[in-house]
Structure 1
Amino acid sequence: MKIIGVRFKSVGKIYYFDPQDTQLTEGDKVIVETARGVECGDVVMTDREIDEKNFKNPIKPIIRKADERDLKSIEKSKQKEAEAFEICRKKIEEHKLKMDLIDVECTFNNNKMLFYFTAENRVDFRELVKDLAGIFRTRIELRQIGVRDEAKMLGGLGICGQPFCCSRFLGDFQPVSIKMAKEQGLSLNPTKISGCCGRLMCCLKYEQDSYEDLLKHTPKVGAIVKTADGKGVVQEVNLLTGKLRVKMDRSDNVVTVKKEDVEVIKDGNIRVDKNELRALKGLEGK
């Protein structure tokens, strides 16, 4: 069957629907039914042939292509979201709540408003919800999000000078670990390997597969190797150039050799010790 891919946020997960007989192109807006109710999304992929057996859940059909009335309703919702943001921010100040409002979202049929916020600890926002429900006369939902989601929503520039990957093209966050930074030979200085969100940079994931492949064919630091000049211990490794610095057993000289020119007697291991993990605690979180 043919399906289309639909996004509900500029950078978000793609959901699949059956277009039925509706002719659609990328950039069109469609009205669909989701787990959250009726929503309007952007078509980002068209005419993809798939085998229904590969999907656990049945593919739902679209309700219709968005018309002029739908587009006007969306525009009104955006204005309402901007007003709701200011009202909620003032109410947070009135209630002296330790939370930061990040974004407001109205569902397409206006039966619910979602307020996204960050906070260091749990927040008792019951009175705030009562106030907001009284003002907007609709269902109110407050969602606490992590610092990565905050960065994705707000956007900004990374240390590379480019807009955040998460707000530009990453649909989902991929798991990133301290071990990746270690395997890539990066300094385990938190300011060097963490993004503006205070967590490990998402881009550590991009080249990890290549580094893992290189590590399979390259002696690691601590490896005992045999060179043309005798046995020694690998002191330093440059994975990209394939060059090793080896401290010789007998002379204590340090020589630079290519990985192809050595024979591995006993390979080393890449480990993150407890002290390093303790110092970098929290960087792997959401």
Structure 2
Amino acid sequence: MGCGSCSSGGCGTGGAAVSGCGDKGSCGTGGCNKMNVFDWLSHMDVPAGQRFDVVEVKFKGGRKEYFRNINQLEFVTGDYVVCEMASGQHIGSVSLQGELVRLQMKRKNVAVNDDLHVIYRIATEKDLDKHTQAMAREMPTLYRTREIIREMKLNMKLSDVEFQSDNSKTTFYYSSEERVDFRELIKALASEFKVRIEMRQISLRQEASRLGGLGSCGRELCCSTWLTDFKNISTSAARYQNLSLNPAKLSGQCGRLKCCLNYELETYIDALRDIPTVEAPLKTKKGIATLQKTDIFKKIMWFGFDKDTNWYPVPISKVMEIIELNKNNIIPESLEVLTPEADKSQDKTPQRLNSDLENLDKKYSEEQKKKKKKKNRSNKNKNNTSKPQAPQAATPGK
């Protein structure tokens, strides 16, 4: 059902409707492809002699490499091309070309020299048939290799297999937390499949990126769609954002901390600069107030007393004033004593925890009562109209 170039399986010629666009998978934006790139310079015409002769080509699993277009072939994004490899040739799809490739190579520190492999030609139907046959061998090879690994009792997890288009080389992607001696495994695989074997160890994040899946947010994994750089993530990122340090909630499909913990981290760090550090409970004549939680963006800190189940919101400026008073051995009456009289008159009752939820429940119950009354009225009107009316008496004299 899928187009073969993405893990969503929602596009292609199988007749299934594509939810992202109305073009049934034939759109030119590449929105259904994994690691798609939008060429925002494609509308600019550059003379043929001034074009950057390096093309970015995408292979299975989102892997991208750069090849020289020495034959000055005309490509369209998505065209399948036959590329030179260290051993033989392989088929990939053009993902980017032009000046944006120069910027990508500069960002990834890839040098432009004669060591770059070249593109032979645009793939023909015969080339694509060979490529399809090579891809058809991947799943049986994956299952058979896993059986061999279990027989040899090797502590490694095989996640993916990629055949080169000319069937001259096979790359096995595996993950392991310890060093594995797979020399005997390579001999067994070479005699089993009659190809050149390459074992490539990948991290757990890279494994999740190749396999894909859905995250707890309900969307496809970031690492399998657009994220290419895996940065270090620590538990301090969760602490800055006041998240619960629950490994089950903070871990992603790969078993490591979620990459999205870093997305809003800088915003939280900037907002925390104005938040005072409460090293000890606040002392008031009403009792000792302990910090329960902090609303970072609203600049409000919630405190609770020992024998009181309610939490009381206090602005940050007032918290700093109470801290200064406690340092000078001055104990205020309560947390609200520093609040201006105008504010007191507006809100005499302290705001309780989850008051917004209580308001929503009250609003929902009122709406339900209104709907019920409206329904009863409509039922009464129906009953009145359905009753047969008594015949009117004839008027005398007519």
- CA shift for structure 1 position 18: 4.5
Tell me which amino acid in the other structure corresponds to 2:275: P
Aligned partners of 1:11 and 1:170 also within 8 Å: no
Residue in 2 aligned with 1:128?
185
Higher relative contact order (CA 8 A, sep 6+): 1
Q: Which has the higher helix share?
A: 2
Cα distance between partner residues in 2 of 1:177 and 1:92: 34
Instruction: From 141, 162, 176, give the equivalent of 1:105.
Output: 162
Cα distance between partner residues in 1 of 2:125 and 2:131: 10
Confirm or deny that 1:84 pairs with 2:138.
no
Aligned partners of 2:60 and 2:162 also within 8 Å: no
- CA shift for structure 1 position 187: 1.0
Cα distance between partner residues in 2 of 1:27 and 1:183: 43
* RMSD value, Cα: 3.5
Call closer, same or farther: CA 1:192–1:220 in 2, change over 3 Å.
Answer: farther
Fraction of identical pairs, as percent: 38
Residue in 1 aligned with 2:112?
58
Pairs within 5 Å for 1:1-286? 1-2=51-52, 3-12=54-63, 14-19=64-69, 21-33=72-84, 38-48=89-99, 50=102, 54=106, 57-58=111-112, 60=116, 61-216=118-273, 218-222=274-278, 236-245=293-302, 256-259=313-316
Aligned partners of 2:62 and 2:210 also within 8 Å: no
Aligned partners of 2:79 and 2:122 also within 8 Å: yes
Call closer, same or farther: CA 1:236–1:93 in 2, change over 3 Å.
Answer: closer
SS at 1:63 equivalent: strand
Call closer, same or farther: CA 1:118–1:51 in 2, change over 3 Å.
Answer: closer
Cα distance between partner residues in 1 of 2:154 and 2:237: 38
Q: TM-score of the superposition, structure 2-length normalised?
A: 0.54
Call closer, same or farther: CA 1:209–1:36 in 2, change over 3 Å.
Answer: farther
* Bigger Rg, which one: 2
Call closer, same or farther: CA 1:17–1:215 in 2, change over 3 Å.
Answer: farther
- CA shift for structure 1 position 202: 1.3
SS at 1:191 equivalent: helix
Q: How many residues align?
A: 253
Unaligned runs of 5+ in 2: 1-50, 281-288, 305-310, 325-398
Q: Which has the higher strand share?
A: 1
Unaligned runs of 5+ in 1: 225-231, 248-253, 267-286
Aligned partners of 1:7 and 1:43 also within 8 Å: yes
Call closer, same or farther: CA 1:65–1:53 in 2, change over 3 Å.
Answer: closer
Cα distance between partner residues in 2 of 1:261 and 1:221: 13
Call closer, same or farther: CA 1:180–1:58 in 2, change over 3 Å.
Answer: same
Q: TM-score of the superposition, structure 1-length normalised?
A: 0.72
Cα deviation, 1:190-233, whole Å, max 9, x if unaligned, reads 112111321101111222232233234x3154379xxxxxxx99
